[in-house]
Homo-oligomer: A and B are copies of this chain.
Amino acid sequence: MSVMLQEIYQQPEAAAVVLEKENASVTALVHELKRRSIQHVIIAARGTSDNAAVYARYLLEIVCGIPVTLAAPSVFTLYGASMQLHHTLVIGISQSGQATDVIQTLSAARAGGALTACITNVPGAPLLEVSDFAMLCRAGEERAVAATKTYTSTLLLIAMLAAHWSNHIGLQQQLQSLPVMYHAMLTLDEQVACCVERYRYMQDCAVLARGVNLATALETALKMTETSYLIAKPYSGADFLHGPIAMVSEGFPVFLFMPNGPTLPGMLELGLKLRERAAEMIVVSRDSSALELARTPIAIPIEVSELLSPLLYIVPGQLWACHLAVARGADPDKPRGLSKVTLTR
């Protein structure tokens, strides 16, 4: 069993630990956010952490009504910009807590008057030194280069932050069921391991979702690119119609994440357009019309609110990337030329 697959299986436990141990740090941060009347959030992150940031931007805007900016670290690190950031929270996300440009961004933001916070898996990491508040992933050491459990722990911390900041009791309650729901999602393992065989020689594909699950599309595509060296292009289903759909010819493989909720009607419409082009669809959904579009349907075994669905819908994406690598003769634990910590000049 690859380390990556072992770590995918550690997600129920990681979720349980975060729910138990990080409630206090999240509520302490929320207390300060309210005290300082924070009106804007900036998030600095790279790679997988940046995909988590995409989830944060949707969730905080939708649930808390707070506009969220994904930082372009080079604005600070290369161009040396200075910004007035009072009433702004800047969150740095880095699994290792070592991402140099994320640290520099937080440091520059602090100089501009911002409140700073971080999400990291490594207590004592350098990122904590520039952070007024810290939230820990508590996922245990992550050994696989392709991050899985730290990604979902990060999403969980973001969901806890949004739920507490907005006093959204419904979300807070649903979060408690996450460990059980992760166990249910892992029952998809065998099916996914079998499905990937058909895609042994796939050269490229598109991965589509809308709204909060744009993060899921981005992260699934990144996992596939990292472990299987294929060209997986992630898109918002809306942006895909503005040009990129031109790449779809007969048999072109397209992944679609289609949870129930406000994004489903648009995704179904997109699915019909893809069917007209005879695309080969892999659909992750609980909706029967969505699953019927697929050559390879992956039926989600649980009910979850759409706002929290990215925490769970990524699991088949992770399993897919891991098993596909094996099917293609690659080692998911040893991606060609990648290291666990990437430093940006």
Contact of A67 (CB < 8 Å), options: B61, B88, B211: B88
User: By the criterion CB–CB under 8 Å, are A58 and B39 in contact?
Assistant: no
Residue among A47, A48, A78, A342 facing the most chain B CB atoms (10 A cut-off): A78
User: By the criterion CB–CB under 8 Å, are B338 and A246 in contact?
Assistant: yes
| In the complex, chain B residues whose CB is within 8 Å of the CB of A65 | 81-84
A126 within 8 A of B: no
| In the complex, chain B residues whose CB is within 8 Å of the CB of A69 | 67-69
If the complex has contacts A61-B81, A238-B73, are A246 and B226 also in contact, measured as CB distance less than 8 A? yes
Q: Considering the chains assembled together, what is the distance between the CA atoms of A266 and B342 in angstroms?
A: 14
A8 within 8 A of B: no
Q: Considering the chains assembled together, what is the distance between the CA atoms of A107 and B342 in angstroms?
A: 41
Which residues 59-98 in A have Cβ within 8 Å of B in the complex?
61-62, 65-70, 72-75, 78-79, 81-85, 88
Nearest B-chain residue to A75, judged by Cβ: B61
| In the complex, chain B residues whose CB is within 8 Å of the CB of A81 | 61-62, 65
Number of copies of chain A assembled together: 2
| In the complex, chain B residues whose CB is within 8 Å of the CB of A58 | 72, 74-75, 79
Among the stretches A10-18, A184-192, A228-236, A289-297, the one at the interface with B is A228-236
User: By the criterion CB–CB under 8 Å, are B345 and A78 in contact?
Assistant: no
A244 within 8 A of B: yes
| In the complex, chain B residues whose CB is within 8 Å of the CB of A266 | 78, 344-345
Give the size range of A's interface with the partner: 35 or more
Q: Considering the chains assembled together, what is the distance between the CA atoms of A238 and B71 in angstroms?
A: 13
Which residues 216-274 in A have Cβ within 8 Å of B in the complex?
222, 225-226, 229-231, 233, 236, 238-239, 241-249, 262-263, 265-266, 269
A203 within 8 A of B: yes
Contact of A211 (CB < 8 Å), options: B39, B78, B263: B78
Nearest B-chain residue to A87, judged by Cβ: B39
Nearest B-chain residue to A238, judged by Cβ: B344
Which residues 317-340 in A have Cβ within 8 Å of B in the complex?
335-338
Q: Considering the chains assembled together, what is the distance between the CA atoms of A335 and B338 in angstroms?
A: 36
Q: How far is the CB of A34 from chain B (nearest CB, A)?
A: 14
A46 within 8 A of B: yes
A4-43 CB contact bits vs B (8 Å, 1 = yes)? 0000000000000000000000000000000000011010
In the complex, given contacts A46-B242, A231-B231, what are 19 additional A-B residue pairs having Cβ atoms less than 8 angstroms apart? A46-B238, A47-B239, A57-B72, A62-B79, A65-B81, A65-B83, A67-B88, A68-B69, A78-B262, A101-B238, A203-B204, A204-B204, A225-B244, A225-B246, A225-B247, A229-B247, A238-B344, A246-B337, A246-B338
Q: Which residues on A are within 8 Å of B, measured CB to CB?
A: 39-40, 42, 46-48, 50, 57-58, 61-62, 65-70, 72-75, 78-79, 81-85, 88, 101, 203-204, 210-211, 214, 222, 225-226, 229-231, 233, 236, 238-239, 241-249, 262-263, 265-266, 269, 277, 335-338, 342, 344-345
